Amino acid sequence: MNEREFFDYLRKKTEEIFKTTSIYKTHPDKNWNYAICDTTIKKGKPIIFGLNWGGNDIDAQSEYPKDDKSRNWNFISHSNNFFQEYLKISDISEVNYSNLCFFRSPKVHLMKDGKDWELAIDLFNEYVHYIKPSLTVMLGKTGIPKLNSNKSLTDLNRIEEKDKRKRVFGYKGKLFGKYSFACVPHPQVRISTETRENIWRKVFGN
């Protein structure tokens, strides 16, 4: 199937599975819903992904996304220079952007059921395997325990930097047994530019 057909297939499957989740059954009056991706699907290109879609009272994604280079991706604007230097992209619309969990919730802690995460990661696995990305990059380390819980990460190496009084981590390894995986601090986390630069250089430097 082509990219648009795959999107339609995965969207319908996500809708069916979402209705079986604890987060849906616990909050039936909430219009939280789900989304698949925020860019068109590009086979072989890197996937950049966060943890899950935020927001409240947002309808489910129903249409295949469009790429718009004029769009202002505010949440990653602080990392644009790193994307250019280490990923060789000038705009996120040049790659695939999604989230580890397609299910939407205003706060990620509202997804308490481990089974929901298993279902979510299985859906993301299908997305990744269809694309066969040259690289996968997770923004923020919160998803590391979720991926580790079902052994989705292998050959994982942790990189640590000190930022004033706290420790900051990056990771690299393999996702789903075959795809190059990197994890860097979320663009919105408050750390010094020097610490962020050190993490990116150590994760991607080789």
CATH topology of domain 3-66+79-204: Uracil-DNA Glycosylase, subunit E (3.40.470)
Provide the residue ranges of all domains of the chain, joining segments of one domain with +: 3-66+79-204
> For 69-104, what is each residue's pLDDT tens digit?
777 777 777 778 888 888 898 888 899 999 999 999
User: What's the pLDDT band for 173 if we cut at 50, 70, 90?
Assistant: very high
Which residue has better confidence, 75 or 201? 201
Question: How many Cα atoms within 13 Å fall on the side-chain side of residue 177?
Answer: 4
- Are 146 and 167 a contacting pair, CB within 8 Å? no
Q: Residue 206 — very low, low, confident or very high, per pLDDT cuts 50/70/90? A: low
Question: Model's pTM, two decimal places?
Answer: 0.93
